[in-house]
Structure 1
Amino acid sequence: MSLALTLCLVTVLLLAAFGTPVSFSMIIGAIVYLAVSGQDLALAGEQIIQGFYNSFILLAVPLFIAAANIMNAGSITDRLLQFCVAMVGHFRGGLGHVNIVSSLIFSGMSGSAVADAAGVGRVIINMMTKDGRYPPSYAAAITAASATIGPIIPPSIPMVIYALVSDTSVGYLFIAGLVPGLLMGVVLMGLNAYMATKMDIPKEPRTPMKDIPRITFRALPTLMMPAILLFGIYGGITTPTEAAAVAAAYALILAVAYRSISFKQLYMALKESAYSSASVGLVIGSALIFNYIVATENVPTAIAEMITAADLSPLQFLLIVNLIYLGLGFLLDATTVILVIVPLFVPACRELGIDLVHFGVVTIVNLMIGLITPPYGVLLFVINGTTKIPLAGIIKQVIPFIFVLLAALFIMILFPDLILSMPRLMGYQG
């Protein structure tokens, strides 16, 4: 490791330790690297500009964020929840199942775990805790756990970013997330049924059969969004970025058609989307500079050669990398890991013959689990901030959900066909 790279990393770590945002720490660390190595400091700005200019796919990120915020501002989520209650609300632990199923459906519209937790999650927590049905900490924990499915079922903002750094097809990544997302939903519902029995949660009344067609019809336009997006992408009608624009426009049309969003609410939704997009953009911009440094120092090649020399099997490599991801999940957000750490492993995947679509989905599932892993679990803080439910109670209740999600992740690592079967049906040759 060169002196310049060492000083760069020390700068980043020190600034982060003092509470500086990771994106600013990385930008300052990159400037230190350029200065010490005698390179033009303007390279930092050049890498950011060229990176954004050459990455049309990144436009999908603010568009998906806008779509999620518009849906949360209107009554779209209310219709979705009524449909989920009619379908699974009468089973043991019914409102917990509603929580999970609503996340499965909402994830097909937003691509964001935080949007799921802050939008649908806030409403369903109120439903679960009304009249003391469920302990508030349990309702918050299952909401956080189910929100991790958001970026697995297509569309997915993290998958868009992973496609950028790995040169993998966004379309195949999207379709590859379907089965893993459903698997995560199944294991969460299984645990919820067990916990509801253990806590002796009474069953909810069954929705009358005569009301189900009406409830389904009211929710149908909302349920159609994932189908429209997937048909557009896989029918060759839209690119993933154009599909994101369709998602934002469709969400706005639904909100206006339902007369559920005011101009003030729309303004606030777009304002929040701008803030969130700028925050993600800062992380991406800092990672673009960092990736230039990593490439200049030939770090990915060195790691690939080290792994080759260690004679690791693909399975051993995947297990080691996933342990690293779990460790990083305690400290870093998913976007930073995808942009900075994942590119280090991509050459080794190619060397070992590991499919990059399989690797990408496994990576994102792992990093989503990191969103509910203390101490940095972002979803835990989001739910704590929106509901004021004590964080200590949420952490205690979320631990069993972390274990079942890790079990699902292990199954995905062992059986790549679970992830690759759907892309192969769509013509993927991997």
Structure 2
Amino acid sequence: MILSTAFTLALGLIIVLSVFGLPMGLSMICASVLYLLMRGQDMGIVAEQFLNGMYSNYIMLAVPLFILAAEIMNSGTLSERLLRWCDAVVGRFRGGLAQVNILQSIVFAGMSGSAIADAAGSGKMMQHMMTQDGKYTPSYAAALTAVTAVIGPIIPPSIPMVLYALIADASIGYLFLAGVVPGLLMAGVMMIQVAVTARTRNFPVEKPVPLRQLPKMTWHALPVLFMPIVLMYGIYGGITTPTEAAAVAAFYALVVSIVVYRSVRLPDLYAALLTSAKTTASIGMLIAGALVFNYVVTIENIPHSLSAILLSWDLNPITFLIAVNILLLILGCVLEGTTILLVIVPVLIPTASALGIDMVHFGVVVVVNIMLGLVTPPYGLLLFIMTRISGAPMKAIVGDVLPFLGGLVLALILFTFVPETVLWLPRMFGYGGGGL
């Protein structure tokens, strides 16, 4: 595979601009413009092709809508009510608050689709609950919040899966279903680790909430707990598309916050809209840059050339998936997850398809890898967020994250080599894809 001078210069420009602090999306756009100019491409025709291709594509509309739903939930008392209910359910056991952290992430995952929203939304409250009176060290509380937030984009809905569906032309509905079992298994692994650590480190036992109060607390939290059911029933009952379900999620969160709980005022709603707009603009710029640069990569015929090279090595699906896992885990240490998903993964998809790897199975493996990158040093974004929230030193947080990371990697190995853990639920709903 011989790269042209224009592509080599474009790639070098991305690196230089990124080193000097320009956002990755803008760096890719600048590099792509340079490439197109050097190749004599008409910018107007290229732009027209993009607009025509995206005109009837509504998938990406789900991204800002899920972000808005998460921001509205964080603005009101939905997250707080969810935490109180989780505390009533599992807080009575040794290390109960740590188990609460995991349980609330499972429920919150069914609402936001974003690991960042999960950590930022409940992170402050969980950090305060776990560290008050010295119950848990700040670093352990921060580490646990970071790794539990990883579950967010695995259990549907999931913003990274929406983006993967865009580049792989896979079914969003089946991708969402495929994430349920892996997400629950990851949560189960963390719960077992917490239970073992709770005894070895003598974590405290919280004052149990009387069981007679549990029905009342469940009733008060029911509108929050009902939201994932509304979303899933809408999608898999054939009532809404995933994009429409994202709009329903935002509207549902707004109605529950304003009408039912009366916890969101006009200034809160304005702040949620503003934050959602800023986050969407940031992600949108990255998507725009990645799409333009992927156009450049396609012109260079890199995906098919790389696919031919890999296939010439006589790789089988298992060795290919091992290589992909290693590559994505390493890249996750130094690159932002969305960049990996939009720039690196499209190059791998033709080879995966040629080897007969199911695109839904591959998508879940890819998204889990990218989510683990959020908690791998030195770049792990969730580590930076929890360092800022907790005030604990990064080194201490990383030390407490590593055991959980080890358990999650073992879960990733299971998902990779036992496709039924991923594809069982989609097949129950009629999916006809294969495994390895």
Q: TM-score, structure 2 length as denominator? A: 0.96
Moved over 6 A (4+): none
State how far apart, in whole Å, the 1-side matches of 2:252 and 2:76 are: 12
Kept in 2: contact 1:63–1:248 (CA 8 A)? yes
User: CA offset at residue 17 of structure 1?
Assistant: 1.7
Where structure 2 has 5 or more consecutive residues not aligned to the other structure, the ranges are none
Structure 1 CA distance, aligned partners of 2:213 and 2:47?
59
- Counterpart-to-counterpart distance in 2, 1:353 and 1:288: 25
Inter-partner Cα distance in structure 2 for 1:48 and 1:128: 49
Kindly tell me: are residues 80 and 5 of structure 1, through their superposed partners in 2, closer, same or farther at Cα, counting changes over 3 Å? same
Distance 1:55 1:388, change over 3 A: farther
What is residue 7 of structure 2 aligned with on the other side?
5
Match of 1:322 in 2: 325
Structure 1 residues 261-410: aligned runs within 5 Å: 261-410=264-413
Name the counterpart of 2:417: 414
Pick one of 67, 76, 80 that aligns with 2:78.
76
Give the superposition deviation at 1:48: 5.2
Tell me the secondary structure at the aligned position of residue 371 of structure 1: helix
Aligned to 1:237: 239
- Distance in 2 between residues matched to 1:212 and 1:243, nearest whole Å: 30
Are the equivalent residues in 2 in contact too, given 1:113–1:147 (CA < 8 A)? yes
- 2:295 & 2:204 partners in 1: Cα distance? 57
Contact 1:129-1:139 at 8 Å conserved across structures:
yes
Question: Corresponding residue for 2:180?
Answer: 178
1:19 to partner: Cα distance: 1.9
For 1:174, what is the secondary structure of its paired residue? helix
Deviations 1:264-298 (A, max 9, x none): 11110110000000000000100110111111111
Q: Which amino acid aligns with 2:423?
A: L
Q: Of the candidates 135, 138, 142, which is equivalent to residue 137 of structure 2?
A: 135
| Offset of residue 390 of structure 1 | 2.4
Alignment partner of 2:125 out of 107, 111, 123: 123
Q: Distance in 1 between matches of 2:138 and 2:52?
A: 47
Once residues 156 and 216 of structure 2 are traced to their aligned partners in structure 1, the CA distance between those partners, rounded to angstroms, is: 27
Q: Which runs of 5+ in 1 are unaligned?
A: none
Contact (CA 8 Å) 1:30, 1:44: kept in 2 or not? no
Equivalent residue number for residue 150 of structure 2: 148
| Alpha-carbon distance in structure 2 between the residues aligned to 1:217 and 1:264 | 28
2-structure distance, mates of 1:22, 1:349: 26
Out of 160, 170, 180, the residue aligned to residue 162 of structure 2 is: 160
Instruction: Provide, for residues 104-130 of structure 1, a one-character-per-residue CA deviation record: whole Å limited to 9, x for no partner.
Output: 000000000000000012211110001
Aligned Cα root-mean-square deviation (Å): 1.2
Q: Verify the 8 A CA contact 1:221 1:254 in the aligned structure 2.
A: yes
Secondary structure, aligned partner of 2:375: coil
Deviation at 1:47, TM superposition (A): 5.6
Alignment of 1:52-67 (within 5 A): 52-67=54-69
The partner residue of 2:29 within 11, 14, 27 is 27
Aligned residues: 430
Aligned-residue offset at 1:318: 0.4
Where 1:251 maps in the other structure, the secondary structure is helix
Shift of the alpha carbon at 1:46? 4.1
1:12-59 C-alpha deviation (Å, 9 max, x unpaired): 111112222111111111111112112124456446544543421100
Q: Which residue of 1 aligns with 2:223?
A: 221
Letter in 2 for 1:198: T
CA distance in 2, matches of 1:152, 1:51: 28
Which of residues 77, 87, 106 in structure 1 aligns to 2:108? 106
The CA deviation at 1:392 is 2.3
Tell me how far apart the structure 2 counterparts of residues 197 and 43 of structure 1 sit (CA, whole Å).
65
2:203 aligns to what SS in structure 1?
A: coil
Matched letter for residue 265 of structure 1? D
Aligned mates of 1:52, 1:149 — CA distance in 2: 30
TM-score by length of 1: 0.98
Distance 1:45 1:391 in 2: 43
Contact 2:139 2:390 in 1 (8 A): no
Q: Relative to structure 2, which stretch is displaced further, 386-395 or 26-35?
A: 386-395
Return 49-58 or 183-192, whichever deviates more.
49-58
- Is the Cα contact below 8 Å between 2:112 and 2:152 reproduced in 1? yes
Comparing 39-48 and 143-152, the one that deviates more: 39-48
Q: What is the rounded CA distance, in whole Å, between the counterparts of 2:277 and 2:52 in structure 1?
A: 21
Are residues 186 and 218 of structure 1, via their aligned partners in 2, closer, same or farther at CA, if it must alter by over 3 Å? same
User: For the Cα contact (< 8 Å) 1:47–1:288, is it kept in 2?
Assistant: no
SS of the residue 1:206 aligns to: coil
1:303, distance to aligned residue in structure 2 (A): 1.4
Q: CA deviation at 1:263?
A: 0.8
Identity %: 52
* Contact 1:48/1:286 (<8 A) preserved: no
Q: Give the structure 2 partner of residue 37 of structure 1.
A: 39
| Letter of the 1:276 counterpart | T
Distance 2:405 2:249 in 1: 31
1:233 to 1:400, Cα distance in 2 relative to 1, 3 A: same
